[in-house]
């Protein structure tokens, strides 16, 4: 029997995607995210879809481009926690959506 991964688990790839977007300070394409994270486009695309579903990312589509960006409203608790701890936001460890 194959176990399905929980949709609520934040993987290293998820964290790397969010961290890359945070450092970029602008929306990025899935292709650009894949280059920054160092994994394939289909892998990043799958993780972006999951992160859009659970909340920390949003997608902006135009006729020619699709860009991924951070929903800062959703991540306010993490950003606040990082500021209180004096830790860079990208260094905060979140393993489950419920931790947010």
The answer as to whether 32 is a domain residue is: yes
The structure tokens listed for 25 are 């300070």
CA atoms of 36 and 29, how far apart (whole Å) = 11
For residue 69, the enclosing domain spans 12-99
Kindly state whether residue 62 falls inside one of the protein's structural domains: yes
This prediction's pTM: 0.74
User: CA 36, 51, 26, 23 torsion: positive or negative?
Assistant: negative
User: Does some domain include residue 36?
Assistant: yes
Confidence of residue 3 (pLDDT cuts 50, 70, 90): very low
Q: What integer pLDDT is reported at residue 32 of this predicted model?
A: 95
Instruction: Tell me the average pLDDT of the chain.
Output: 81
pLDDT at 68 over 60: yes
Domains in the chain, number: 1
pLDDT of 48 reads 95
Residues 51 and 14 sit within 8 Å (Cβ to Cβ)? yes
Question: Residues 8-25: pLDDT tens digits?
Answer: 677 889 888 988 998 898
User: Is the pLDDT score of 40 beyond 80?
Assistant: yes
- Six-digit token string for 1: 């029997």
In a domain, 78, yes or no: yes
- In percent, the amount of the chain with pLDDT more than 90 equals 41
CATH of the domain at 82: 1.10.10.10
Residues 7 and 97: their CA atoms lie apart, in Å, by 9
Quick one: average pLDDT of 54-69? 91
Q: Is the residue at 63 inside a domain?
A: yes
Residue 28 lies in a domain: yes
25, part of any domain: yes
7, part of any domain: no
The model's confidence at residue 2, banded by pLDDT at 50, 70 and 90, is: very low
């Amino acid at each position: 029997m194959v176990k399905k991964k929980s949709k609520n688990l934040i993987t290293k790839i998820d964290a790397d995607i969010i961290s890359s977007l945070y450092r970029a300070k602008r929306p990025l394409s899935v292709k650009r995210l894949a280059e920054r994270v160092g994994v394939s486009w289909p892998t990043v695309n799958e993780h972006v879809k999951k992160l859009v579903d659970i909340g920390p990312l949003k997608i902006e589509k135009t006729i020619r481009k699709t860009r991924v960006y951070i929903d800062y409203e959703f991540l306010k608790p993490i950003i606040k926690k990082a500021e209180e701890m004096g830790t860079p936001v990208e260094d905060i460890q979140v393993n489950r959506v419920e931790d947010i």
